[in-house]
Chains A and B, each alone.
Chain A
């Protein structure tokens, strides 16, 4: 099996752009693996051969690299790849229970996809969001402060084709393949969507404001922070295809469950 001519043509064009970013072509390998994954959904023999041919290295060299990194998948994943952080802090805060209930709920395990191809699961290591524990990721977008119930509802909603918004991320989830394309370095124009920071990220700042704490002020003319600008006032860049902000069940930054 090889790529259809149009697919191959587009891949070649994209690969050329990627290679052009770097002083040496070989640096393009990781983005190119993201690129072929954005076409195939996982790392296929075609993808490996394409990377090898384009960069003038052997398929074995490409395979050696692709198998080293956990984001490159050896088998098809779901349209929505659902990760549960089970590193220590999240595990103890409930990630282990979420994982157990979610695997029972879906019938699949680590790096496996459900038969309908909609959902796959992965046990994640720390995703740098520990203050929002327990943390889940869907197509590498953040779902904060999760519970087993919220996790199962999230998966059900995704399977039912409902739009779902991450806690801190774009207005709605893109597909697994679309996400891979962004990772390959092709922006999708959605950077302006979503919050600047989750509530936890702002805790220190809010306290400082409340108590009038600031860093020492060197030049007196330094402007004091402005009042927060409303989300509606953001104009740059103009939203292209704004995703419907989803009320839904998983609310951005929802605090449900904490200290109740």
Chain B
């Protein structure tokens, strides 16, 4: 049986967890002191050896990404933290920064030192005022303690950190769109290559990492790569925060080794809400193909979820019970992608628009089986032909729902309306 492994969440129940005093009482900033006894390359090596893979969705090995920076370059190097958390269902970075902003700040300092950057940015989505306050304050406190600024802890190393608020655009979570946004432009993805590691922010070599990735670095430095790698599976090492939401008895954040299953997590969370059963779920946000109760025992690691036809993504486990209309769910996600498409490329801009129009009609019961083939055709024209992964992600709910729930679409057409009562799915409608 897999058990929970609180590391990043370990101090969240301390009333002062978000202050420097509270963080240091639990051993915070010890890793920073240790890091300065190591050469930058040793830290990069430790992160490589730990097996840490990006926690922002794609799972790219973090140490390897850092290793791509050219050894020297005429332009300054930058670390940019992606704190834009906007993928539907994803809700781990926001509570992490609210309760434990210093672990992120400590991670930023160690990571910047490792990649020899003297300027880091934390790009936080703008719609989370109190989280922004907490991170602003944590950075201020780090300056006051001499953890930021000039000659940090007598190491000779200088670092400045800027907290930057976004302004409401999902696409700015895409790393190159984020860079454009941070440079003061509309957030639209850039052509790759060149990759940010070579030419990123202001053209300088840039590392972009997710909040949780960077926050995992202090524990790796403090306890060692082997310690980190002792958790998780062979190719998906370490711990991660799993977010359970929806029709589950105890929704919330569960920090566990990668490879835990939904069955185990649901068990810990009191199961699907009383009197109901699991219908479908997302393993990693709305951009990952949906699963059903047949996938309860899929180990939630990058390889196993991939082999089962979806993606681990951000471990955003949105749970829907049998009262939920899958067509309605997919319609709403399609509206989201149409709204958030940045408009730069045709397959995504036009495709998500058509998705939205068609799904609206189908949900209202005005469709035919032929429409499903048209939807799959549109999907073929988006997937792999879009400029960035937003377009690909938009196809996931559509294609996977048609595959798994074709009959439910057909039932809408037969009845000429949606067969479900939305009141039954609500938080209060679940009363029996």
Contacts and interface: CB of A to CB of B under 8 A. Distances in A.
Listed from nearest, the 5 A-B pairs whose CB atoms lie closest are A203-B252, A204-B254, A191-B137, A69-B167, A70-B168
A130 interface: yes
Interface in B1-52: 3-7, 9-22, 25-27
B134 A191 contact: yes
B90 A128 contact: yes
A139 B245 CA distance: 24
A194 interface: yes
A206 interface: yes
Interface stretch (A2-10, A155-163, A179-187, A240-248): A179-187
A133 B163 contact: no
Interface string A70-109: 1110000000000100111101111011000000000000
B350 interface: no
B95 interface: yes
A229 B22 contact: yes
B182 A236 contact: no
A47 interface: no
B348 interface: no
B366 interface: no
B332 A88 contact: yes
Nearest to B11: A225
Contacts of B429: 94
Interface in B280-296: 286
Nearest to B251: A131
Chain B interface residue bracket vs A:
35 or more
B111 to A, nearest CB: 19
A174 to B, nearest CB: 8
B114 interface: no
Contacts of B336: 87-88, 125-126
A97 to B, nearest CB: 6
A237 to B, nearest CB: 8
Interface string B397-432: 000000000000000000000000011011111110
A208 B6 contact: yes
Contacts of B5: 208, 213-216
Contacts of B14: 196, 225-226, 228-229
Given A140-B128, A192-B19, A208-B3, A21 B25 contact: no
B91 A22 contact: no
B174 interface: no
Contact of A126 (B22, B88, B140, B187): B88
Nearest to B223: A218
